[in-house]
């Protein structure tokens, strides 16, 4: 899938409130890099960061995948800047996918959050 195709699918599938200025920067096989922008004067809340995690995980696993397990580790406070998310599938087990996502403030230097999750997909996907 190309960056433009993933961008179109995410924009079509996700609620507008979860887009956060979403831009698909890179999409290679199972590795995805997304950029999210906060609204002018807006702050990243815990709820909005969890929304970014969900979007990032589903971008790597497939937007129709359903979250079954999630572990999130906050490594440092979020800065009020763009958030870059790197996500990838780390293991496939039938219809279950194990995925990880790293969130960074502004630049891919030091992560602020790490998430691992299991998602289920229907056999037809």
User: What does the alpha-carbon distance between residue 117 and residue 81 come to, in Å, rounded to a whole number?
Assistant: 25
Locate 55 and state its tokens: 């979007």
Question: Comparing 100 with 63, which gets the higher pLDDT?
Answer: 100
pLDDT at 124: 63
Give all domains of the chain, ordered by start, each with its CATH number.
3-120 (3.10.129.10)
Task: Please state the rounded mean pLDDT for residues 27-32.
Answer: 85
Per-residue pLDDT band at 109 (split at 50, 70, 90): confident
pLDDT at 125: 56
pLDDT at 99: 97
């Amino acid at each position: 899938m190309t960056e433009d195709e993933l961008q179109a699918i995410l924009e079509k599938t996700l609620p507008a409130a979860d887009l956060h200025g979403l831009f698909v920067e890179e999409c290679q096989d199972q590795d995805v890099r997304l950029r999210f922008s906060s609204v002018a004067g807006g702050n990243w809340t815990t709820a909005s960061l969890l929304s970014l995690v969900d979007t990032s995980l589903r971008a790597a696993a497939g937007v129709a995948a359903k979250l079954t397990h999630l572990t999130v580790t906050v490594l440092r406070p979020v800065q009020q800047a763009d958030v870059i998310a790197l996500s990838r599938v780390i293991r496939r087990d039938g219809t279950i996918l194990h995925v990880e996502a790293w969130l960074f403030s502004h630049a891919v230097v030091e992560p602020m959050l790490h998430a691992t999750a299991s998602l289920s997909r229907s056999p037809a996907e």
